[in-house]
Structure 1
Amino acid sequence: MQLYRDLDSLSTEIRSGALTIGNFDGVHLGHAKIAQQVRKRADEVAGPAVVFTFDPHPVRLLRPELAPPPLTWTRRKVELLGQLGIDAVIAYPTTPELLQLTPDEFFQQIIVQKMAAKAMVEGPNFNFGKDRAGDVKTLEALCLKNGILLDIVEPLTRPGETEYVSSSRIRKLIAQGNVQLACEMLTQPYRIRGMVTHGAGRGANLGFATANLEAVDTLVPEMGVYAGMSYRGDDAYAAAINIGPNPTFGEKARKIEVHLIDFQGSLYGEPLEVSFLSRLRDVTTFPDVDALKNQLNQDIQTTIQTFQNYQSKTSC
């Protein structure tokens, strides 16, 4: 799996294949459906399966006040797409010059000249070019004119539902704390990353040492206590995660505290990635420290069971 940041450094192995263009935020089951078709077409045309995405999302330049918090960072997106059979991701820098290209200019310069695409796969709501003026009909005409195969993949709905699986829907669920339902729509459990910093040390004094996570650059779930997992090299640890203040001790500031169960060692100053499996409860004020410790023990046991259940089926 390869990541490219520009089109000038493309190797010949990345050209003349099947291409899809989009944001792919979160890499959900709808994206997996598109990736599957890209992989199929790539094999048919004997070329690579390539995802072309933008970094940052164009709305961050055009209307930054409307830009939603992302669900994935670029390297994580590359990892997830690689698991779906994609050979390369191009995280193309979004510039004002790029956003000024008309649909025809974008198609000719990027898709024909730089990528030499033989096949394309998109969803029905695909738009491209200045002011999003190009749509699927525009793309169909340009592909036909240039001899490029085109597949339009319909959005995915889950059994018994009418609402599509989408990044915006998943973003709303995570913001509400419903990480379990979000997990069922993602290809992997929702994950955040941050740097471990020094906290108040209160968890260690209670017998539940926690890593205080800061500088998180993706959407943080609603306040609450969660069962999840964290990663150290090739090892995964069950993790009880608290998002919010510590009201029992009179604190009001929201924090992200991660207790890696059965982990021994220091994490200070290191990056840490944490995935969410389920929400256990709200942030609660306890009458005393003993009541808090009893609840934390219950949270840890539930977290361990949730982690073991996840490992046994290796999916959401």
Structure 2
Amino acid sequence: MQRWEDLSDVGPGFGPSVVTIGNFDGVHRGHAAVLAQVVGLARSRGLASVAVTFDPHPLQVLHPERAPGLLTGLEHRLDLLAATGLDAVLVMPFTPELAGWSPQRFVEDVFVRALRARVVVVGHDVRFGRANSGDLATMQELGARSGFEVEVLDDLGDSGRAQRWSSTAVREALAAGEVGRAAEVLGHPHRVTSTVVHGDHRGRELGYPTANLDTEHAEGLVPADGVYAGWLTRASGERLPAAVSIGTNPTFDGVRRQLEAFCLDQEGREGGLDLYGERVDLDFVAHLRSTQRFDGVEALVQQMERDVATCRRILLGRSPA
């Protein structure tokens, strides 16, 4: 998949194409269904398939106080978009200048001149251009004038549930700690990416050395406080089962919220597992329990033993020997 990070990166000979547009935060199952239709339509007509997206999220520029917590960082979003079979993704750097473009300029500069669109695929609620002044009728009018078709898709959701597939539904699930439900909407586990930093080193003292992830600069929305089963993936590609804790460590009267991962079965590693300074991915699989305050260290360690055993069953399908 070609990745363009600016309109000027699109070569003069690209196209003709089938194009869609959106933020695609999380690239959830609704997004995937739309993109599958874009790819299928493009292949049936011998055209290229393209998604146009933005970075940063428009609300982060226009109304930062209303901007949602993002589900994916740009690189992860691009990897997920590539997995849909798209031929190319154009990432438009969202700036105040771009926000001031008229709907007509946006369509002519992006869809017509750069991407040579023959079909533009949108939903009924599409909005674009200055102050979101462009809508579906605007797109259809500009398409008739510029020579491209407008394919309108119905809202796509899980027919077995009342709630539609949406980034908002994923955020709500994560806020409740329901990472399994989030994965159902996403079609893949929710991921947080960050750098391993030094923490309190308390886990090592308790016999459970943890990788402490930098939450301030993390990419991906951190779920609600609690204990989870998940997978930690290193930059090398090594994938490790992990018991994950999010919270302030109330047993020790902590005040700083931390994201820590204990990688299972470290005993056989010569010199231990040193992750400090590494950029890692943490995929959330299941919620085990909420954060608790324990009467003492012994009660906490006993619960940690049970948590690790539960994680081993969930992630590896086996109980400890």
Residue of 269, 286, 308 corresponding to 1:278: 286
Q: Aligned partners of 1:258, 1:150: CA distance in 2, in Å?
A: 47
Q: What amino acid does structure 1 have at the position aligned with 2:249?
A: N
Q: Mark the CA change 1:58 to 1:133 in structure 2 (over 3 Å): closer, same or farther.
A: same
CA deviation profile, 1:91-137 (whole Å, cap 9, x unmatched) = 11112221111111111111101111122211221111111111112
State the match for 1:242 in structure 2: 245
Q: Aligned partners of 2:90, 2:312: CA distance in 1, in Å?
A: 38
Deviates more, 1:136-145 or 1:77-86: 136-145
State the match for 1:147 in structure 2: 147
State the match for 2:100 in structure 1: 100
State the match for 1:160 in structure 2: 160
Report the Cα offset of residue 238 of structure 1: 1.2
The answer to whether residue 295 in structure 2 is matched with residue 292 in structure 1 is no
Q: State the TM-score, normalized to the length of structure 1.
A: 0.93
Report the Cα offset of residue 12 of structure 1: 5.2
Report the Cα offset of residue 270 of structure 1: 1.1
State the match for 1:260 in structure 2: 263
Unaligned runs of 5+ in 1: 310-316
Report the Cα offset of residue 262 of structure 1: 2.5
State the match for 1:229 in structure 2: 231
State the match for 1:63 in structure 2: 63
Q: What amino acid does structure 1 have at the position aligned with 2:301?
A: K
State the match for 1:72 in structure 2: 72
CA RMSD of aligned residues (A): 1.6
Report the Cα offset of residue 90 of structure 1: 1.4
Deviates more, 1:156-165 or 1:252-261: 156-165
CA deviation profile, 1:110-169 (whole Å, cap 9, x unmatched) = 110111112221122111111111111211222233221322222222133232111112
State the match for 1:313 in structure 2: none
Q: Secondary structure at the match of 1:143?
A: helix
1:180–1:277 contact (8 Å) kept in structure 2: yes
Q: Aligned partners of 1:243, 1:208: CA distance in 2, in Å?
A: 15
Report the Cα offset of residue 283 of structure 1: 0.9
Alignment of structure 1 residues 1-316 onto 2, 5 Å: 1-11=1-11, 14-214=14-214, 215-232=217-234, 233-263=236-266, 264=269, 265-308=273-316
Q: Mark the CA change 1:307 to 1:7 in structure 2 (over 3 Å): closer, same or farther.
A: same
State the match for 1:314 in structure 2: none
Q: Mark the CA change 1:4 to 1:212 in structure 2 (over 3 Å): closer, same or farther.
A: same
Q: Secondary structure at the match of 2:57?
A: coil
Q: Aligned partners of 1:256, 1:85: CA distance in 2, in Å?
A: 34
Q: Secondary structure at the match of 2:230?
A: strand
Q: Aligned partners of 1:82, 1:117: CA distance in 2, in Å?
A: 20
1:4–1:10 contact (8 Å) kept in structure 2: yes
Q: Aligned partners of 1:87, 1:192: CA distance in 2, in Å?
A: 26
Q: Aligned partners of 1:114, 1:158: CA distance in 2, in Å?
A: 35
1:17–1:45 contact (8 Å) kept in structure 2: no
Q: Aligned partners of 2:46, 2:21: CA distance in 1, in Å?
A: 19
Q: Secondary structure at the match of 2:8?
A: coil
Give aligned-pair identity as a percent. 37
Q: State the TM-score, normalized to the length of structure 2.
A: 0.92
1:248–1:287 contact (8 Å) kept in structure 2: yes
Q: Aligned partners of 2:15, 2:291: CA distance in 1, in Å?
A: 51
CA deviation profile, 1:233-254 (whole Å, cap 9, x unmatched) = 3332111110101122222221
Unaligned runs of 5+ in 2: none
Q: Secondary structure at the match of 1:8?
A: helix
Report the Cα offset of residue 308 of structure 1: 3.4
2:72–2:220 contact (8 Å) kept in structure 1: yes
